[in-house]
Amino acid sequence: MHLIIILGAVGLSYGLRKADFLTPRNWGQRWERSLLLFISPPIILITTAIAVICMGHQGEMLGLSTGWFSYLLAWSFCGWTAILGLILGYQGWRSVQKVNNYPQIMIKGKSLRLLDNPILFSAQIGFWNSQLVVSKGLVERLNSEQLYAVLNHEQAHYYYRDNFWFFWFGWLGKIAPFLPNTEMLWHELLTLREVRADQWAKKQVDGLLLAETLLLMVSDRLTQTANFSAAFSCTTPPNRLTERIDALLGEPDFSIQQNNYWFCSWILLNCFPLMTMLFHQ
């Protein structure tokens, strides 16, 4: 019976990733939809595995016996997710330690870490309390207005704690690589993250200046794709870059509904597999 539950969770996760529903009407709803479709399937798999482990290999469910195979399968999956999380966490910790060795400078009243590289580069690196790293080339080659635009964009990433949340999103995306549309949804979330930061920065900086600075940096950038970093010139396909430019030059609606009980209810449903423990005897 436990094996049936596991297969049902895999089928549901696969179906969610292939589903085409919840057509978004603005950027905020697009963010919620992409986030929901990205994180729900792996969370369902995790909660299903936890439920099977808690129920154990003995007993019955709805008159059907349980066994060792599904129990060991659940333990293997949980072990894999834990090991992957430790590996990603260790890689992030190593990056933070490396950043701590960079010289510290002050620009426009902000404390930054300076990377000795001629390429245009800026990124928040770390987890909850991330640090802003800029390259020597960025400081020397951008004028004061362009540099101010970059700093405001990176401050938005710190404000939203993007490094912290995208570390966990990245972990969820890697634990079940067999699920469809993982890469597509991941790039969608990266794009929406940057659009949100752009809109935050537009409160202080002209959108046209941000767009011009973005194009300049994308043409001369240091690739950084780790889950614990957020860069102004985030590596994205050309069509995603066009979306960012259009959003910077327009007035996109990135408002997210407050007290969105529907979205919160859906997240709670991801833990529904834990309710199956009530039927175990």
Q: How confident is the model at residue 229 (pLDDT cuts 50, 70, 90)?
A: confident
Give residue 68's pLDDT band: very low, low, confident or very high (50, 70, 90).
low
C-alpha 113/C-alpha 104 separation (Å) is 5
DSSP per residue over 195-261, as a string? Answer: HHHHHHHTTTS-HHHHHHHHHHHHTSB-----TTEEETT----HHHHHHHHHHHHS-------TT-H
Which band of pLDDT confidence, cut at 50, 70 and 90, is reported for residue 265? confident
Mean pLDDT across the chain: 82
Listed range (68-77, 86-95, 125-134, 248-257) with the worst mean pLDDT: 248-257
The pLDDT, as a whole number, for residue 97 is 92
Q: Taking residues 21-43, what's their average pLDDT?
A: 82
Q: What CA–CA distance (Å, rounded) separates 271 from 165?
A: 19
Q: Which position has the higher pLDDT, 213 or 27?
A: 213
| pLDDT value at 87 more than 90 | yes
The residues near 155 (Cβ < 8 Å, ≥ 6 apart) are: 110, 132, 200, 201
What letter does residue 22 receive in the DSSP assignment? -
Mean pLDDT of 229-248: 75
> What per-residue confidence (pLDDT) applies to 157?
93
Model confidence at 221: pLDDT above 90: no
Q: Which of 46-60, 62-76, 92-106 has the lowest mean pLDDT?
A: 62-76
pLDDT for residue 168: 94
Place 172 in a pLDDT band, splitting at 50, 70 and 90: very high
- In this prediction, residues 72-88 reach a mean pLDDT of 91
Q: What is the mean pLDDT of residues 110-119?
A: 88
Of residues 244 and 277, the one with the higher pLDDT is: 244
Which of 137-146, 153-162, 271-280 comes out lowest in average pLDDT?
A: 271-280
Given this model, what pLDDT does residue 279 score? 52
Above 60 in pLDDT, residue 278? no
The pLDDT of residue 220 is 67
Residues 125, 130, 134, 135, CA torsion sign:
negative
Q: What's the token pair of residue 238? A: 């050309």
